[in-house]
Structure 1
């Protein structure tokens, strides 16, 4: 029934509905207050005067404040109907309870309407109903906001899935064609054009790498990365990434020190974390890069340190560099580190950056250990010491 009433008044200007309801509250409060004031002289004793007179008068005055709040508040017609229903419901219930009480005291129902118990109950019940109505309106708003947010997230999810498909298929395929043409031109052009072909190859490779990062980035936010979570051998991931990096960057010295033989609870995107950190350490080095990778286990967490001897991170960027609120630049710079921070958080881990001594930076990635047998017992973890390469 309440829904039907609210639908009928929806076309009425909200200020008119609020004004009418506010006037009803004010009139009821004034009538109750006047009736209470008239009977103040008939109350015997200080306690009766306080409970049967002063307190109900204060509650009636608060109802007038409530009427002003309703009129000046940003309530629409439907919300005002909800407030009115709760207010009148509280008033009626309080009146019924009070009349039942005075009838048991031997006072007739008609005469009991002016009894202090009835008047006090009515002021309290009406004010309580108004408070409950305000809470109900607030709950309705929260529910509406939640529904709107869910709809927005569902729309964004669909957009991310679509973007992922476009990046994965269309853009990636076009870039592969460009890369193939560039490779075909390599060695078949005039010496003057060789530098242009080399630049085309580098740019295409960077674009393919950026596209792959963005695809994985969308995988995480679209929820696709949740499906294949499992125990993954961290050592195998590290050694594979080191071998791949040595092939891609033969001029860099990449040392893989002792690392723990443990599994972490992740998915196929785990390698993206270490790939991005190793690649950044090499690409942003202003000399002959040296990257040292090591790991250790503390309690139920495994910690991997990736140290470089590059120029290091600027002091002003040290704190916010891996903040998940950090916005990558339009050029694509920062996407890799942003993806690292996102993935580590996705795996319930932590990542931070420290200064290296005497030069460079140390990126530390800490993840939970998947194998419960290895948790909290670093001494029981077998360590491998692979041969370092250049």
Structure 2
């Protein structure tokens, strides 16, 4: 089995390193026991090699008990062996060089052994960091490949949702409009329900399209200067047309530009949709206002719905989260939070009084072109 093979490689490689380390350890102890020189020589010539050899033994034992793959063990053993050969060669060359110049050396064997002991540990340490960086690079490559695959799938889904489904729904809505004059009062309610459901499907395709655009994007969005009042006015008018039974009230909105992009409309569209769709009132009331606070503007969207329990306020923006008794996809508010975060802003949920929810969207103000004004944003449903 692959798991057994992997463990055997780790056991053999780790045991080999530990056994050689024990050999270095025994030689270091022997040298230390027979050393009667100065304390400095005692430490450098015996103490340090002793500690290094002991560390090598521990490292070998750890490798032997691990589930390291064959390739990992071979890399570690390879670097360890390279350290032994390189340091031993350097030790021998150093001894030969000194002796050729008339220098008398004592315990030349231990000089080479101590040099090799330290070199072996150094090679093992290099192998550890190299293996770890290699493994990290392989994980990143695998994650990158997976992301590319998911991105390709999302792009296909985007094309299907954006073109095929939406085009078919456009045909359905067109036929519903043609049927309007042929339906009597008894079938009027059923026709309106079908019309509402069809409009909802089209809206979902738009949300899905926006969501895929944000998720598939490889880089952070290019932020621009966007007029807050213009975007709010456009989205409020669209929501009024989509929900004629709802009342949209607008307070003061500062005439400012914020750092965002063309997706800012999706932020307010999703919040306004949720304020109506998850409302338990026959004629929902949604109130929108904005306040300038230092270098930010806070847009507050308040509804008179059932509200959101405190234990769900933090998680409601999660992907797949749905409102109370919702049949939606759960991606609208997740998309909203994702966009606001990309803009460097913040979004939070508070309770409305006496009932309902307030969604606060905080955005960074880029510039101000005038005092707070609601003149550019119509109030009411007219």
TM range (shorter): 0.7 to 0.9
- CA separation in 1, counterparts of 2:371 and 2:18? 79
The alignment partner of 1:114 has SS state of: helix
2:306 is the counterpart of 1:311 = yes
- 1:163: Cα distance to partner? 1.0
- 1:364: Cα distance to partner? 0.7
2:371 is the counterpart of 1:382 = yes
Aligned position for 2:174? 180
After superposition, the C-alpha distances for 1:89-118 in whole angstroms (9 at most, x for unaligned) are 22233334444555537246xx75423x43
- 1:167: Cα distance to partner? 0.8
RMSD: 2.9
- CA separation in 1, counterparts of 2:309 and 2:28? 73
2:228 is the counterpart of 1:241 = no
Going from structure 1 to structure 2, the CA distance change for 1:191 and 1:91 (only over 3 Å counts) comes to: same
- 1:333: Cα distance to partner? 4.6
Going from structure 1 to structure 2, the CA distance change for 1:100 and 1:155 (only over 3 Å counts) comes to: same
Superposition TM-score, scaled by structure 1 size = 0.84
Conservation of the 8 A alpha-carbon contact between 2:228 and 2:255: yes
Alignment of 1:208-357 (within 5 A): 208-223=202-217, 229-287=223-281, 288-322=283-317, 324=318, 327-328=321-322, 331-357=327-353
Superposition TM-score, scaled by structure 2 size = 0.85
The runs of 5 or more residues in structure 1 that have no matched partner are 1-9, 375-379
Going from structure 1 to structure 2, the CA distance change for 1:93 and 1:382 (only over 3 Å counts) comes to: same
After superposition, the C-alpha distances for 1:293-320 in whole angstroms (9 at most, x for unaligned) are 1112223222111122222222322222
Number of aligned residue pairs: 369
The alignment partner of 1:291 has SS state of: strand
Alignment of 1:1-390 (within 5 A): 13-15=5-7, 17-44=9-36, 45-99=38-92, 102=95, 104=98, 106-107=103-104, 113-115=108-110, 117-189=111-183, 191-223=185-217, 229-287=223-281, 288-322=283-317, 324=318, 327-328=321-322, 331-371=327-367, 374=368, 381-386=370-375, 388-390=379-381
- CA separation in 2, counterparts of 1:261 and 1:127? 67
The alignment partner of 1:39 has SS state of: helix
Conservation of the 8 A alpha-carbon contact between 1:255 and 1:291: yes
The alignment partner of 2:202 has SS state of: helix
Select between 340-349 and 132-141 the one with higher mean Cα deviation: 340-349
After superposition, the C-alpha distances for 1:102-152 in whole angstroms (9 at most, x for unaligned) are 5537246xx75423x433332222112112211111111101000001111
- CA separation in 2, counterparts of 1:350 and 1:251? 30
Conservation of the 8 A alpha-carbon contact between 1:219 and 1:225: no
- 1:328: Cα distance to partner? 4.6
- CA separation in 1, counterparts of 2:161 and 2:44? 73
Select between 83-92 and 52-61 the one with higher mean Cα deviation: 52-61
- CA separation in 1, counterparts of 2:271 and 2:306? 15
